[in-house]
Structure 1
Amino acid sequence: MKPAMILMLAVMAGIGCCANEAFAQKGKTEIDWNGKSFRDVAYKQVGTRRLLMDIYLPNASKFDEAPVIYYVHGGGWAAGSKAGFGSSLMLPVFQQLAENGFVCVAVQYRLCKKGSGVLMRDCVTDVMDGLRYLKKNASQYSIDPNRIVVFGDSAGGQLAQMLTVSSPVEFTGDQSLADVAVQPVAGISWYGPSDFTDINLFKTGLSDKDPDRFGQRISGDQGGYKEHSKAFEEMSPYYWIKKDSPPLLMLQGDTDATIPLPHAIHLKKKADQIGADVEMIIVKNAGHNWRKAGGDPEPGLAEIQRITAEYALRQITHLETRD
C-alpha cells in the first residue's frame, strides 16, 4: 500500500521557534530515560575531532535485534546539537518508540559555521557515516541494521530525506566505514527543505529573510545555483528520489516562514508523478518548530508526536506489505 495522506492539523501554542537549539544551549544533557544508554559514542574522527552519537536502549526489548530510530537535529546546518533529542518537542516521540522496543539514536555532525570550511555535503557525509557505524557495530547494541527509520527536523529534515532517498554508497567519509552500505527502511522529515535549486520555494510573504541564505553552505562561496548547479542538485532530495525509494513521511506547517510549505508540496508532487511512496501531512496554523501561527491548537503537538512515532512503528512492523 502507498497511501497519500494529507491531514490538516492545528498545533499546540507556546512552542518556541528554536526549541531544540535552546535546549542544547542551556547545556542540559541529563535525560530521563528508563533504559540503558551509551552517551558520546565516537563513531568517526575528522582530523583531531571525534564525532559522537548517543544510543538509548529500550527498557524492555521486544525483539532479538531491535529496530532503530535515528535522529538528526536541526539548526540550519550551522547550529543545534544531538542534545535536542531530549527537548519537549522530540523526547515524547522517542519514548513512545522505546516503549515499542526501538533503540533510539541521536547523532552529532559537523556544522557549517562561518570560517569552519564545513559544507552541507559534509553534514550529509557525517550522518551517513553514523548509519554505517551502527551497521558495523550492530551486534554490540543488539540492533537490526536492516530496520532503521531516520528522522530529522528542519535542516535535520533535509538530512533525513537525503539518508532516505540518496544512494547508500554515496557520501563516504571515514575510510574504515566506506565499504558499509545502509539503506533505511523509511524516513520522516519535519519541515525539511527538499530542493535548493529553485529559490522560489524559499520565498514567502511571511518573512523578509533572504531566500538564498543557505546557498553558501552548499557552495562555500557567494555563487548560486547557476555557478554550482551540480552541488545544489546533489543536496536536493528532489533530485534523488526514485520510484523504489524507501517510504517517506513529510510533516509541514502551512505558515512556516523558515521552510515554506511549497517545499513539501514540490517533493510530494514529484513522488506522485513517479510512483514513490511519500505521505504528506500539512499542519494548519503552524510555523517552524510547530509554533502557533494563527488558529486554535487542535489536536496539538501530542498528536503530531503520536503520528510520527506511529509511522515509524508501522514501517517496521509491516515490512512484508511493502512489496
Structure 2
Amino acid sequence: MDIRALRPPDQDPWPVFTHHPPISSEGVAGARSWTGLTYGFVRSFRPMTLDLHVPADVPGPVPLVVWIHGGGWTEGDRRYVPLQWPQQVLFEKVVAAEMAVATLDYRLLAEAPFPACVHDCVAAIRYLRRYADELSLDPHRVGIWGESAGAHLASLVAFVGSQQDDGHRLLGSVGVGEGPVDVAAAVLFYGPAEMGWLADGAADEEVRGGLGGDLAVVRDLSPVTQVHPGIPPVLLMHGRDDGMVPATESELLHQALREAGVDSTLEIIDGADHCFIGTPIEPHLDRAVAFLGQHLQGSVS
C-alpha cells in the first residue's frame, strides 16, 4: 500500500491499533530526503530519529519547519499525519513553499515520563542547527508546528526555548546537549494550554503515569505558565466543536499571549472537531504554511 492510500478504519469507535499494513512511498515530491537521522541516544532507550525533507531545486540555506506529531503522548509516528488527513500533503506543501520540513519521533509516556518527550523535541532542534550547513538549512530561520499533543510539545519548545535559560528543566541535555532552541514562529493546532488535569485524576492511567510521581512538573508542562514577552509569533487554530481538547484551551493561551505582548493569532474553525474533522483539511494546512512562510522567509512563493 502506498502511504497516500492510508485511511482510517471503517469501524466507529476505532479499534485499538496494533500495526499498519506494509506501506511504501515514493517520498516527498520535490524534496531531497534524509530518513532515520539519529538526533539523540539515551542509554536503554531506542535511538531517537527524525526525517528531513529539503527542497531539491532551491538554493540553500533554506528555512526549516519542525513538525511534531500528536497522539496523546502515548502513540504516533513521525511518518504519518492524522489518518483523516491526506498523507504526505502537509510535508509537500512545506517543501513547495521552499522550506524544509523535519518530522521527528520522541519518547512516548510508556517509555519515559514527562518531560522526556520535551527533551527529545529540544534535542532535535539542536541537532538540526548543529548540522545545518551539511543539510542546507538556515539555523536562524526555524519554525515549529504541532497538532494536539504535538502542539503541546511545540508550544513548550517555543516558549521555553525563547527564555534564554539554558538550565531550564524542560530543555534537558539529550543528543548534542547544548545550543539555542529559540524559533521564529510557532503554529499550534488544537493543543492543551493548562495541564492541571494530569494531577487531579482527570487523565487516564497511562497519561497520568507519565508524571513519574513528580507532581511539581505539571506547572512546567502547562504552556500557559510558560508565557513571557519574548515568545515569537504564534498561530493557534482550533475546531469549535473539538470533543477531545476544548477550544477554550486555545482561547486561554491566546489571551495569555496577548496580555504578555506576544504577536498571537487565534482562529476558531466552525464545524470542526479534533483534527479538524468535519471541515476540509487542506485550507487549514495552507493557512499554517502561509503563516510560517511569512515569518521565516517573508512570503510564500
* TM-score between the two structures when normalised by the length of structure 2: 0.83
1:247 aligned to 2:244?
A: no
User: Quick check: 92-101 or 308-317, which moved more?
Assistant: 92-101
Q: Which residue of 1 aligns with 2:39?
A: 43
CA distance in 2, matches of 1:22, 1:317: 39
User: For residues 57-101 of structure 1, what are the alpha-carbon distances to aligned partners after superposition, in whole Å with 9 as ceiling and x for unaligned?
Assistant: 11211x431101101110000100101159644632321221122
Q: Percent identity between the aligned chains?
A: 20
Q: Secondary structure at the match of 1:83?
A: coil
More divergent stretch after superposition (93-102 vs 72-81): 93-102
Q: What is the identity, as a one-letter code, of the residue corresponding to 2:296?
A: I
Give 2:285's aligned residue.
Answer: 305
**What is the CA distance between 1:316 and its match in structure 2?**
1.1
* Conserved 8 A contact 2:157-2:181: no
Which residue in 1 is equivalent to 2:151? 157
Q: Deviation of residue 247 (structure 1)?
A: 1.0
| 1:289 matches 2:275 | yes
Q: Which runs of 4+ in 1 moved over 6 A?
A: 14-19, 21-24
Separation (CA, whole Å) in 2 of partners of 1:24 and 1:313: 35
1:272 and 1:286 map into 2 onto residues whose CA distance is 24
Asked whether the equivalents of residues 145 and 182 of structure 1 are also in contact (C-alpha less than 8 Å), the reply is: no
Selected match of 1:93 from 90, 93, 115: 90
| Closer, same or farther: CA 157–29 of 1 in aligned 2, 3 Å | farther
Shifted more, 135-144 versus 266-275: the winner is 266-275
2:203 counterpart residue number: 212
The corresponding residue for 1:138 is 132
**Aligned counterpart, 2:20:** 25
Could you say which residue in structure 1 is the equivalent of 2:108? Answer: 111
Work out which of the residue numbers 251, 257, 261 in structure 2 matches 1:265: 251
Q: Is 1:124 equivalent to 2:121 in the alignment?
A: no
The SS at the match of 2:286 is helix
More contact order relative to length (CA 8 Å, sep ≥ 6):
1
Gaps of 5+ in 1: 1-13, 203-209, 222-226
CA contact (8 A) 1:165 1:237 kept: yes
Structure 2's unaligned 5+ residue stretches are 1-6
TM-score (norm 1): 0.78
Q: Matched residue pairs, number?
A: 280
C-alpha change, 1:311 and 1:281, in structure 2 (3 Å) is same
1:91-150: CA deviation from partner (whole Å, max 9, x where unpaired): 32321221122111111100012xx3x113100000100000001111110101111111
